[in-house]
Structure 1
Amino acid sequence: MRKGKTFTMKGKKWNKGINYRTLEELFKITNKGSETFTYDISVSVVEVYNEQIRDLLAPVTTSKRLEIKQAREGLHHIPGLVEAKLENIKEVLDVIKIENSARPVGSNNVNKHSSNSH
């Protein structure tokens, strides 16, 4: 099995990746402080491939062109990016399922050397 960026970020059921483990830890922290603080957690998922930005949470029929904008020194944002509000770790799994189904991983002549084609 090849292990690369995708495996590191997403992992497998038996070996969770950075994305899932980070959000899992974030929900543990917010649950501990919920009597004192109110938290709003949301995520966006983008893919940058061949200089094209794709919103992996947007409906398939959406074809708007996304661009990275510089907000302030060192800060960037992508106007129009879909944000999924998360209340618990189960909703993280739902977002991961949406992202997985939107992300192309098939190999062809154009992307056969891509890190996403495995």
Structure 2
Amino acid sequence: MEWIDAATAAERLGVKPATLYAYVSRGVLRRRHGDDGRRSLFSAEEVERLARRGRPRNRPPELVIESAVTALGVDRPYYRGRDVLELAGASDFETVATWLWTADPALWHHR
């Protein structure tokens, strides 16, 4: 197995040396000490595999927020079940804001 030094591995991956050690602590890369006991060496094969695959990233958790006010449609939001474009054309800002805040159906019966 071929081993390369930290500077070479970092350059190949396009990261700082500190990032290499973070990869080691997360189990992404293996490291061994050089013959002098001070240098860190990395598996050239693992570095190459990681370079081809790209930087490891933690996927952010999927965020789900339940709301009685807003639903995100494919192309635009809906507020209390009404298309945002319908709301924008139906009344002035203050009336829409009051309706969103209070959910008073009387504000929309005459529209």
> Which TM-score applies when normalising by structure 1?
0.19
Higher strand share: 1
Determine which structure has more spread, i.e. the larger CA radius of gyration: 2
Higher helix share: 2
> Which TM-score applies when normalising by structure 2?
0.20
Question: Relative contact order (C-alpha < 8 Å, sep 6+): which is higher?
Answer: 1
